[in-house]
Amino acid sequence: MSKPEGGRRILDVTLRAQSDAVREVLGLARPVLAQGGLSEESCGRAEIVLAEALNNIVEHAYCDTATGDIRLLLDLSEAHLTMTLIDSGRGLTGADLPEGCCPCLGETRQSTPEGGFGWFLIRSLSEGIDFCRRDGRNRLTLRLARETGDDADQTRG
């Protein structure tokens, strides 16, 4: 599997498409990201994006059947973290990816939304998103800036 230009691969792992396995892999990825030199703030952004992307594959590509695998690649360059997720689940096209608008918060307690935030979080925290279907596999690539202005915010806070 080719690496993004100038990047070094810091993780290549395959997990079962199941929510407990997602939790386990996130627990594995976080210290790898920190050792790669990412700040706490960047590790947090990466973990949120990764959790949402993996959960989407578990729930939608494999329809919660836990019958398939997901391969996760993490590549780090000077400016970016690139996360690549490959699955053999239900086929999507790039046009199928939700726009990820922030759900309207509703005017009453009962109308407050309980879902629909996953793609909003992915799109809010990613700098670039690429999707392709090839050889019966979905391949989602998420690029995050290594650092953002939020780092300074967090230091101040």
Using rule CB under 8 A, residue 13 touches another protein = no
Stretch that binds another protein, among 3-11, 14-22, 86-94, 131-139 (CB under 8 A): 14-22
Verify binding: residue 144, another protein, rule CB under 8 A.
no
Give the integer Cα–Cα distance in Å for 92 and 142: 16
Beta bridge partners of 23: none
Question: Does residue 145 interact with another protein by CB under 8 A?
Answer: no
What's the min distance (Å) between Cβ of 70 and another protein? 14
Residue 45 sits in the site that holds another protein (CB under 8 A): yes
Consecutive H or E run containing 125 = helix 118-125
* Sign of CA pseudo-dihedral 121, 122, 127, 129: negative
Q: Which stretch binds another protein (CB under 8 A): 16-24, 73-81, 82-90, 139-147?
A: 16-24
Give, to the nearest 10 degrees, the angle between helix 19-35 and helix 40-56: 150
CA-nearest of 124, 147, 138 to 42 is 147
DSSP symbols for 10-38: EEEEEEESSHHHHHHHHHHHHHHHHHTT-
Our finding on whether 73 is near another protein (CB under 8 A) is no
Q: Which residue(s) pair with 44 in the sheet?
A: none
**Residue 30: CB minimum distance to another protein, A:** 9
Query: Using the rule CB under 8 A, is 118 a contact of another protein?
Result: yes
Q: Which residues bind another protein (CB under 8 A)?
A: 19-20, 22-23, 26, 40-41, 44-45, 47-48, 51-52, 55, 58-59, 102-103, 105, 109-110, 112-115, 117-118, 120-121, 124-125, 150, 154, 157
